[in-house]
Chain A
Amino acid sequence: MSMSMSMEDREIMIELKGINKHYLLKQALTGIDLQIRKGSIVGLLGPNGSGKSTLLKMMAGLIYPTSGSIRVNGREPDVRNKQHIAYLPEIDNLYGWMTVKETLRFLSGFYSDWQADKAAEMLQTMELGENQKVRNLSKGMRARLKLIAALSRKVPLVLLDEPFSGIDPPSRSKIIRSIIQEFQSDEQTILLSTHSVGESEPMFDDVIFLHSGRIKLFDSAENLRENFGCSLENIWEKVYA
């Protein structure tokens, strides 16, 4: 059994300094300073349009900041970051004509770090039939499949954009369980955006509250609960009231 480090001593996985992002008609992110520790599960919270997806895409190397600096696992992220990062986009990125089994085989061809045994295990626990066509899956089932796709890789950083959005409670519960089960706290960092705090609250080490492209709060979940004297869910009500 390895000696565990206390969270404070852990190395930095992601560092953002003075990040701004403008789109043509919109300022998406303003003055973001952030340090994410290795081995933590971080909740990225905020209402729709607060900049959560933009931030995650930037960490994934899919978009670039207008100004400021960003380092992920020691390097500036770009498209090649796919090799080190598992990114679950909010949009549906699966092919409808493939079966579940074909989807996973297809993905395994892209990534040298693909863990077929993990994928098979998760198919079982997530109760997904492997011969079903993706187009015939319910929204909740497709969300489960997307999560399997992200968590079957052995990568230092996992970015999950709204893995629970529009998903039935049983699927949500299964997804939370799987994230906790598959999380390798010694070598992995997970960032997860959501606007349904309640159920996901027990998962988080650290929490970021985003509001209109700015960081409103950023601290460990434990400190936030202590300082506000209530749950993250109730802090949410105060922050976004």
Chain B
Amino acid sequence: MELDFNSPKPIYLQMVDEVKKALARGELSPGDKIPSHKERAHISKVNPNTVQRAYQEMEREGLTETLRGQGTFIKNDPTLLVQIRSEMAQAAVKNFIEEMRGLGIEPEETERILRSQLYKGNEGG
């Protein structure tokens, strides 16, 4: 896991993102068991309280559920993946739009550049 301690994003949220990314990439699936927060802390050498906070956040967001005596699982919800992919896509686009805005580029121009880049491969081929 790559945690960036220089990032403005708190470590516990970076840890939540890692799980979401693993889900989006298919490395984790709904219903999968994930390590306990103690195990996770040990594996990643991160403060157990920070890891616990990440686990609480995942539970709060409905990403995971804890079954008494069995451990923590990715929620077995088929819509979860769709949600996460959409959420991450929205975030990526939002980021992009903000950067373009920061460069002082008008929305129409942004759209034009985006289109030309998106379909560049097709035109060329």
Contacts and interface: CB of A to CB of B under 8 A. Distances in A.
Contacts of A222: 10-12, 50
Contacts of B90: none
A205 to B, nearest CB: 5
A177 B47 CA distance: 10
17 contacts: A39-B49, A41-B49, A180-B45, A180-B46, A201-B5, A202-B5, A202-B44, A203-B46, A203-B47, A205-B50, A221-B47, A225-B5, A226-B8, A226-B10, A229-B8, A230-B6, A231-B6
Interface in A196-215: 201-205
Contact of B46 (A1, A7, A202, A234): A202
Contacts of B66: 1
Interface string A159-193: 00000000000000100110011010100000000
A40 interface: yes
Contacts of B110: none
Contacts of A234: 6
Nearest to B42: A181
B41 interface: yes
Do most interface residues of chain A lie in helix, strand or loop, or is the interface mixed? Answer: helix
Nearest to A199: B45
Interface of B: 3, 5-6, 8, 10-12, 38, 41-42, 44-50, 52, 56, 66, 68
Given A177-B42, A222-B10, A233 B5 contact: yes
Contacts, number: 62
Nearest to B69: A1
A202 B44 CA distance: 9
A75 B90 CA distance: 54
A4 B45 contact: no
A202 B45 contact: yes
Contacts of B48: 180, 183, 185
A232 interface: yes
A173 B43 CA distance: 11
Given A39-B49, A181-B42, 15 more contacts: A4-B56, A41-B47, A41-B49, A176-B45, A180-B41, A180-B48, A185-B48, A202-B11, A203-B45, A205-B49, A205-B50, A226-B10, A232-B5, A233-B5, A234-B6
Chain A interface bracket (under 10, 10 to 19, 20 to 34, 35 or more): 20 to 34
Contacts of A201: 5
A81 B3 CA distance: 38
A202 B3 contact: yes
Contacts of B47: 41, 180, 202-205, 221
A160 to B, nearest CB: 15
Contacts of A202: 3, 5, 11, 44-47, 50
9 closest residue pairs by CB, A with B: A231-B5, A202-B46, A231-B6, A181-B42, A230-B6, A185-B48, A180-B41, A222-B10, A203-B47
Contacts of A39: 49
Interface centre among A40, A176, A180 (most CB of B within 10 A): A180
A177 B11 CA distance: 18
Contacts of A4: 52, 56
B99 to A, nearest CB: 18
A185 B8 contact: no
A232 B12 CA distance: 16
Contacts of A173: 45
B49 A40 contact: yes
